[in-house]
Structure 1
């Protein structure tokens, strides 16, 4: 089992029993999501924004316009972190203070660089698209060179990370278990609904297999 080394930056202080530094578990949390929360400093103030991402090995890719102030700020700082979190259940206890949630959360830290080589850019964007939906890249038109030129692609190399996972039931006070108060879990998950066809020519086309495969894997 390969783990990230613990440091002041990534060590989990509260709820250490739920912490993990296992590389495979952290990658699994990243791969199960598509939106991460990226923080950066702009004109002396902290800003956090949700961003779509792609992951391959120890690399995370973000992209935007060449004028994207968040990406430019990250490149200037030469480092970044991103957090991905999945809400799995509401934990309803007998006491208000023992209400909680079940979740999987990973925060990764690393250095960033601007990808300028067109072929490397295209490979990064391929990773991004395949992270969103496997098989999608081969089902769309190739990108025009000018589109690639207009796109700022940032590569993050993960150097450290940690995760927290809660996947247990209610933790009430022992004396409260005899109370006539309902307690338990309300499981929560993100699901895909049946694909909606766009206007125009797609109405005359069959829904691609990779889209239907995604629907079948993620439907309720």
Structure 2
């Protein structure tokens, strides 16, 4: 990935608190792996619009390497806008890991991991669409592929996947506790610290027609990971 500016691409360099920006691919991989929802910004009739999309990350074996895969309907606006040449987008994926309580609201903060991917979203070629859909499924529901039937031709025809290269990415994170010092002049009788936050899975809820059917490995394995 790169944070350098490319023609037609906004600057990927962080202006405020640049020390929180990283170009470590492992950090980006973790942000992408831990997410399910991407917020995609685009222009629609000259007006900025941000929409949520389920996503995956995968390599379709066509020599273009790993990329972000966005799932949607063939009739959805962005997928129609992409056309044969693609459409410029910015994709945001963020995790709020904790609220940082300082002794003043001004010094309070949050722990987070965020990635912005900028590039051109293009339609995945029809002959790679099935594999792209499976890879999105593998990202969202690991192991589910082995438990369900193959997709029908009708289902594949009604579904579309856009791909966005991962070569223009800006990653910014904050970790740790409160910025404090014994001699900072603050009232240390006021509690300060971090309230960790995370996504948590609940108890699996079977459909009425699945009553009595054991919870499959794909579900029972994902729940504790969250």
User: Please, what TM-score do these two structures have when normalized by structure 2?
Assistant: 0.87
The yes-or-no answer on 1:181 pairing with 2:190 is yes
Structure 2: segments with no counterpart, 5+ residues: 60-65
Structure 2 distance, partners of 1:107, 1:217, is 24
Please point out which of 8, 12, 15 is paired with 2:14.
12
User: Please, what TM-score do these two structures have when normalized by structure 1?
Assistant: 0.90
Summarize deviations over 1:8-28 as a string: whole Å, max 9, x none: 521111111110022221121
Deviation at 1:115, TM superposition (A): 2.1
Structure with the largest fraction of helix: 1
RMSD over aligned CA atoms reads 1.8
Structure 1 runs, 4 residues or longer, greater than 6 Å off:
none
Please point out which of 52, 55, 78 is paired with 1:53.
55
Summarize deviations over 1:38-88 as a string: whole Å, max 9, x none: 001111111111211000253111121222112333456533221110001
1:195 — aligned with what? Answer: 204
Q: Is the 8 A contact 1:98 1:172 kept in 2?
A: no
Aligned residue pairs, count: 214
Structure 2 distance, partners of 1:61, 1:44, is 25
Structure 2 distance, partners of 1:168, 1:138, is 40
For residue 159 of structure 1, give the secondary structure of its aligned residue in structure 2.
coil
The yes-or-no answer on 1:108 pairing with 2:117 is yes
1:1-220 equivalences under 5 Å are 4-7=2-5, 9-57=11-59, 58-75=66-83, 78-117=87-126, 119-172=127-180, 174-200=183-209, 202-218=210-226
